[in-house]
Structure 1
């Protein structure tokens, strides 16, 4: 498995290397406490350019967005500007701007005392799961309905190889396995050749990731997912689209009752791990 999906540095790279103070020659840099992100010295304002400031803003937004989606913050953890600025080694301004964008994205929300990660309620999850199922199936259905629509063999083949490798060496149970699952479904959709459909599917996946990640806490669940992904993609590769459509429907939930039960189960798992429903 690509470990880069699971680890990443939090500090934002300095847009002007060499301008920040460094330890004197022969002096060791101060050691970091395990589990803490490195903090960079502030960059002198006169050296900033408009492009570097924009780059820094995007970097902070991207890092913070990834942290929110990956479940780095608890549901009751306030997203405080100063603490986040220290974490990323930047001033509060780019953090404030990133939080404003995440608020617009719907990934965080205002609550008592500040900003917190958005957690969909059961009714919202029901609607989002229904939309996800519709988008998932449409990618294969459009190829069944229109013979001119063909799945890209390069995309299908590459994704199959990735899952064959995981079948040979299954990853341990981990909530962040949901990222691998989302990538499979996005690639399956992308192979069908409708970018708008894929973008919509990715957006829905991100909105329910915080709950879905608790659906991958057992080895059996992970290994079953791997087997089902391979079966679906092999059907598509071999042109057995009707079989692929049926397998995909069974995989993502073939009725609202199944979808709702899966949402309830995920919410229950999240409650057990975060002490919050």
Structure 2
């Protein structure tokens, strides 16, 4: 493959950022083996920055040691349960803070309109029966809500949680029953944010993530 345009050869940070993007996009499957040689060739860089980036991914819990390299970490059922408990509270807080900022006039109309568009993009991808596009659009919406909360530390924590879940999000959004339910739930969250109703936003976000946790099928 051609080298990734935004990578500067020799930069472990750039390689790490590129690999994190791939994890968040659901580009890798649970248990998939990743080797320094293959990743270096894929990204068009030397093996040294890839080795350093893999070390950071190990620390993040996104990969685990495997024969001749590492493998994409898969969540066990109990790990998924624990992660969704945390995620429900984090995303409830993010929606609440976003709604409070809206009520205080700190969210620009364009930011709120962008949330509505993000909801529509998830629905379009779901209706097209495209799990990969659905997963990417879904994550983009949740990231937008996280950004609207205006709390950098909360947003950073959410990114770590989202990345751990992303590797199986594509498979889960291939479930027509769950995929069909998320649009209404997303609309409820964004509607509450637009109204500046912090409590309603918190409840809608928490209910949505709790429902996602019940529908989630860890792939081990």
TM-score of the two chains, using structure 1 as the length reference: 0.65
Alpha-carbon distance between aligned partners in 1 of 2:100 and 2:23, rounded to the nearest angstrom: 38
Q: Does 1:193 align with 2:146?
A: no
Asked if the contact 1:103–1:109 (Cα under 8 Å) also holds between the matched residues in 2, the reply is yes
Retained in 1: the 8 A contact 2:31–2:74? no
Q: 1:203 to 1:13 in 2, by over 3 A?
A: same
* Cα contact 1:69–1:209 (8 A) shared by 2: yes
Question: What CA distance in whole angstroms lies between the structure 1 residues aligned with 2:186 and 2:39?
Answer: 37
Q: Distance in 2 between matches of 1:124 and 1:80?
A: 25
Matched residue, 2:4: 12
Query: Equivalents in 2 of 1:143, 1:180: separation in Å?
Result: 19
Q: Is the aligned partner of 1:130 residue 2:85?
A: yes
CA distance in 2, matches of 1:147, 1:222: 28
Please identify the structure whose Cα radius of gyration is greater: 1
Q: With CA pairs under 8 Å and 6+ residues apart, which has the higher RCO, 1 or 2?
A: 2
Q: Partner residue of 1:157? A: 113
Aligned residue pair count = 218
Q: Which moved more, 1:144-153 or 1:200-209?
A: 144-153
Q: Decide whether the 8 Å contact of 2:95 with 2:202 is kept in 1.
A: yes
Which deviates more from structure 2 when the two are superposed, residues 59-68 or residues 194-203? Answer: 59-68
Q: Compute the displacement of 1:193 (Å).
A: 2.2
With over 3 angstroms needed to count, the CA separation of the structure-2 counterparts of 1:228 and 1:101, relative to structure 1, is: same
1:222/1:82 CA distance change after superposition, 3 Å: same
Distance 1:179 1:213 in 2: 8
1:68–1:10 Cα change, 3 Å: farther
Match of 1:233 among 183, 186, 190: 190
In structure 2, relative to structure 1, the CA distance for the partners of 1:73 and 1:183 (3 Å cut) is closer
* Structure 1 residue 155: Cα displacement: 1.8
**Over aligned residues, Cα RMSD in angstroms?**
3.2
Q: What CA distance in whole angstroms lies between the structure 2 residues aligned with 1:53 and 1:164?
A: 38
> Relative to total residues, which structure has the larger helix share, 1 or 2?
2
5+ residue gaps, structure 1: 1-8, 16-51, 271-276
Aligned-partner SS, 1:193: coil
